[in-house]
Amino acid sequence: MYAIPLGGEGAELRPLEPWRAPEFLAHMDRARDFVGRRNGLPDIVTDLESARAYLRTYAEKAAADAGRLDGIWLDGTLVGGVLLRTMDTAQGTAEAGCWLEEAAVGRGLVTRAARVLIDWAVEERGVHRVEWWVSASNGPSIAVARRLGMTRDGVLRESYLRGGERHDMEIWSVLAREWRAGRA
């Protein structure tokens, strides 16, 4: 196991594995209303078995080199996560995403965690293009994409149905050469 420090405030990035399902469910129960405003994860993780199944899916993706899921801990408490929802190393593409509890907002945790994840995808796995799909109404997530140096590629108008409403989805991306130049 690894734990990557995310700054001097007791924040760490760690693997979010199936054996952590009870902790993940407790986190989701705390975060359900806040995260559910912009993210469908609370609709998927509703009980211990669904929490375990969700984490198992990402363990299988990691084993197949097709995705990954890491949790963000603050002072020993799981408060959010970052993931590569998809990763195709043959094509050199990946889609990154995130979520965070309200109590941990405003500390830069998602931006720092996403930097670690994208750096790993680009430098270790050879990913050429990392995408960030986000509802056009999700200002905080769009702000993260901007802080990560991503470019808005376009908008898929009314392409995502959530809560009985159609949402525009923005696609942001960063290419490996841009990522490296932004770090330099």
Spatial separation of the C-alpha atoms in residues 11 and 30, rounded to whole Å: 18
Structure tokens at 71: 């949790």
Cα 132 to Cα 46, 52, 153: the distances in Å are 25, 25, 10
Amino acid 7: pLDDT: 83
130 has which bridge partners? 94, 174
Helix (H, G, I), strand (E, B) or coil at 47: coil
Instruction: Tell me yes or no: is domain 4-183 CATH 3.30.2130.10.
Output: no
Amino acid 162: pLDDT: 82
Task: Tell me the pLDDT tens digit for each residue of 41-85.
Answer: 999 999 999 999 999 999 999 999 999 999 999 999 999 999 999
User: pLDDT band at residue 38, thresholds of 50, 70 and 90?
Assistant: confident
- Say what percent of the chain tops pLDDT 70: 99
Instruction: Give the start-end residues of each E strand in 40-144.
Output: 68-74, 77-88, 93-100, 129-135
